Amino acid sequence: MWKNDGKPKVLVGMSGGVDSSVAASMLLEQGYDVAGAFMKNWSDTKDERTGECAWKEERRDAMRVAAQLGIAFETFDFEEEYSRRVVDYLYREYAAGRTPNPDVLCNREVKFDLFLKEALARGADFIATGHYARVQRSGDRYQLLAGLDRAKDQSYFVHALGQEQLKHALFPIGHLDKRDVRAYARDKGIATAEKKDSQGICFIGKVEMRDFLKRVLAPKPGAIVTTEGKEIGRHPDAQAFTVGQRHGLGVGGGPALYVVAADVATGTVTVAEGADHPALYRDRLMAEDWHWVSGRAPELPLRCRARIRYRQPLQVCEVVPSEEDGRLIVRFDAPQRAVTPGQFVVLYDGDEVLGGGVIAE
């Protein structure tokens, strides 16, 4: 796989998209000994146009780029572990009435665990991905920083990385704007230059959540009620709804309705009229299962900024201890819309990612 020419060795996780393609090309230009690898994690989703398993097309695109760049390429089959570590987690969270974030789990459990271990076992010094994030060494520790393109910053998705992972991680495009990445790909004639960004669940793709849940979970049908307790309709599965959701309720003919809560025990989905209904806002949250990038928890109380979902503008907050061991309370200066249990709250000091936890309530 490697040329053994004394250059630092890096294995690039090539997804078949433009970002990881450009990452591989840039590392070659920077003098690294580069190889590429595709992660086969899910084979059930089919391409709507061709009816073919989607991963096969993605791998073909990755192989084409590797051939263009003249680098070695192989495929890692992580499907069994991905199902156990990520997909089973999704089902457990939805069954508990929470809305998980699979992208965070993909990075923590697959790309920067399984993939990293395979790369190091093959003699790599680093792994690289096409994430819009940055790593910076400061003395004897590594800092995780937001990507400079604020519209594409993906530091939220990689906030669960620690020092040992960051020590071996490269994010070659984290300092670039997405337009610059496209322009670079066009200039180099990279095969994926015009390819659209992927959508949907990490590695699984775009699927109808209600159908996805029915593979394993028995539906939880029930009533749709207003915040005043008036029943206005029925739904097929409370597990498929998330806080702040508007579409898919099947109740029309009136003002726009938004999900305030979904109780999987009773099957009741509570809705409110209007996107800015007070019931959709909270000025604090409780989070658990905290991870700190530095490996050390900060001193509390902590004034910082946070986001509760990808691409949300950073919000000023204060983090304080709770009376429940291991949980922390995040108090926002301004009320936040659609605080969703199961999602992650991620803390920042300027551009630096401090860490994050799972929103419990």
Q: What is the residue-averaged pLDDT of the chain?
A: 91
- pLDDT tens-digit readout, 244-301: 998 888 877 678 899 999 999 999 999 999 989 999 999 999 999 999 999 999 999 9
| Beta strands at 315-321 and 302-307: parallel, antiparallel or unpaired | antiparallel
Domain with CATH 3.40.50.620 in the chain: 9-188
In the chain, residues under CATH classification 2.30.30.280 are 218-275
Tell me which of 2.60.260.20, 2.50.20.10, 3.90.1150.10, 2.30.30.280 is the CATH number of domain 218-275: 2.30.30.280
User: Could you give the 3-state DSSP secondary structure of residue 125?
Assistant: coil
C-beta neighbour count of 318 within 10 angstroms? 16
Sign of the dihedral defined by the CA atoms of residues 278, 287, 107, 31, in that order:
positive
CATH class of the domain defined by 9-188: alpha beta
Chain-centroid distance, C-alpha 179: 21
317, pLDDT greater than 60: yes
In the set 53, 106, 304, 317, the catalytic residue is 106
Report the range of poorest mean pLDDT among 147-151, 208-212, 222-226.
208-212
Q: Taking 50 as the threshold, does the pLDDT of residue 51 lie above it?
A: no
Q: Is 53 a catalytic residue?
A: no
- Protein fold of 280-359: Elongation Factor Tu (Ef-tu); domain 3 (2.40.30)
> Percentage of residues in the chain with pLDDT exceeding 70?
94
Judged against a pLDDT cut of 60, whether residue 130 lies above it is answered with: yes
Write the DSSP string, 47-90.
-TTT-SBHHHHHHHHHHHHHHHHT-EEEEEE-HHHHIIIIIHHH
Which tens digits make up the pLDDT trace of 91-122? 999 999 999 998 999 999 999 999 999 999 99
Kind and range of the H or E element at 133? strand 133-138
Mean pLDDT of 146-168: 96
- Does residue 133 have a pLDDT over 90? yes
In the residue annotation, 304 being an active-site residue is answered as no
pLDDT of residue 45: 57
Q: Which of 46-50, 136-140, 211-215 has the highest average model confidence (pLDDT)?
A: 136-140
Give CA 100 to chain center in angstroms: 10
pLDDT at residue 328 greater than cutoff 80: yes
Residue 77: per-residue pLDDT: 92
Question: CA-based angle 109:114:119, to the nearest 5?
Answer: 140
Residues of the chain with CATH 2.40.30.10: 280-359
**Residues 272/280, Cβ–Cβ less than 8 Å:** yes
Mean pLDDT value of segment 208-231 = 89
CA distance 133 to 155: 5
- Whether the predicted pLDDT of 126 surpasses 70: yes
Q: Give pLDDT, residue 210.
A: 78
